[in-house]
């Protein structure tokens, strides 16, 4: 599905990603774990080449429609219903402006907007950032549901490793733009270095 070999990215004259290689198979959930400023967002921006922003003064429904502007009305309607099925929290707020949603609901809307495009590969950049533990759990469950109901390949970049690792088929740990560890989600969960760096153990 996706393979990166020896990627190097410079950001403001600094080397942000250094000789990074990774691979994700179709249907997998792959994670890129790293602390703040490790190079995760630079990597995700490089992979996507496109940032799809919410419009805060548009409603949930309007944002979903804007995201699907290159799709037919039927496709947008079908995917919008799928989004509301995946994210029940959004169903009752379909006419609410995005800026009045909670942080977790905004993340759900962002994932929904990406799904309306009908991607083969879904890139999620720090979906748990700034969320309470309870809302983190809801977003993680939503991501699991996306995988189960759509089969889309998912790449997650995240610094909050503990909630994410159990769902990963494979993960990469990066620091200072360089690969430091790899393994299945379960292997990384049990790795002493990961526990020390990301679990506070």
Q: Rounded to an integer, what distance in angstroms lies between the CA atom of residue 162 and that of residue 89?
A: 24
> CA of 65: how far to CAs of 69, 71, 83, 87, 120, in Å?
6, 9, 12, 16, 19
User: Minimal CA–CA distance to 173: which of 136, 198, 137?
Assistant: 198
**pLDDT for res 89:** 85
Helix (DSSP H) and strand (DSSP E) numbers for the chain: 9, 7
Instruction: State yes or no: pLDDT of 37 exceeds 90.
Output: no
User: Minimal CA–CA distance to 154: which of 163, 162, 142?
Assistant: 142
128, with CB counted inside 10 A (0-12, 13-18, 19+), is buried
**pLDDT for res 5:** 93
Q: What is the pLDDT of residues 43-90, one digit of tens each?
A: 998 888 655 667 899 999 999 999 998 889 999 999 999 999 989 889
Convert 154-193 to b/e letters by CB count within 10 Å (16 or more is b).
bbbbbbbbbbbbebbbbbbbbeebebebebebeebbebee
- The segment(s) of the chain belonging to CATH 3.40.50.300 are 1-52+121-132+141-201
Q: Rounded to an integer, what distance in angstroms lies between the CA atom of residue 108 and that of residue 87?
A: 7
Q: Rounded to an integer, what distance in angstroms lies between the CA atom of residue 108 and that of residue 25?
A: 24
Q: What is the pLDDT of residues 148-160, one digit of tens each?
A: 989 999 999 999 9
Question: Domain spanning 1-52+121-132+141-201: which CATH class is it, in words?
Answer: alpha beta
Q: Round the average pLDDT of the chain to a whole number and report it.
A: 91
- The first and second tokens of residue 18, run together, are 């250094």
């Amino acid at each position: 599905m996706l393979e990166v070999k020896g990627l190097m990215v410079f950001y403001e004259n600094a080397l942000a990603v250094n000789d990074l290689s990774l691979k994700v198979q179709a249907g997998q959930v792959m994670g890129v774990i790293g602390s703040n400023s490790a190079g995760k967002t630079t990597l995700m921006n490089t992979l996507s080449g496109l940032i799809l922003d919410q419009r805060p003064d548009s409603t949930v429904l309007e944002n979903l429609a804007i995201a699907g502007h290159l799709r037919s009305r039927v496709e947008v309607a079908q995917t919008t219903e799928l989004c509301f099925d995946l994210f029940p929290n959004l169903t009752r707020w379909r006419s609410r402006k995005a800026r009045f949603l909670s942080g977790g609901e905004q993340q759900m809307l962002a994932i929904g907007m990406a799904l309306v495009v009908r991607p083969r590969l879904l890139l999620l950049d720090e979906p748990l950032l700034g969320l309470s533990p309870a809302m983190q759990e809801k977003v993680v469950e939503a991501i699991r549901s996306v995988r189960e109901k759509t089969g889309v390949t998912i790449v997650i970049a995240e610094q909050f490793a503990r909630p994410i690792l159990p769902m990963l088929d494979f993960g990469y740990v990066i620091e200072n733009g360089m690969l430091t560890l790899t393994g299945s989600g379960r292997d990384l969960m049990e790795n002493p270095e990961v526990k020390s760096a990301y679990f506070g153990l």
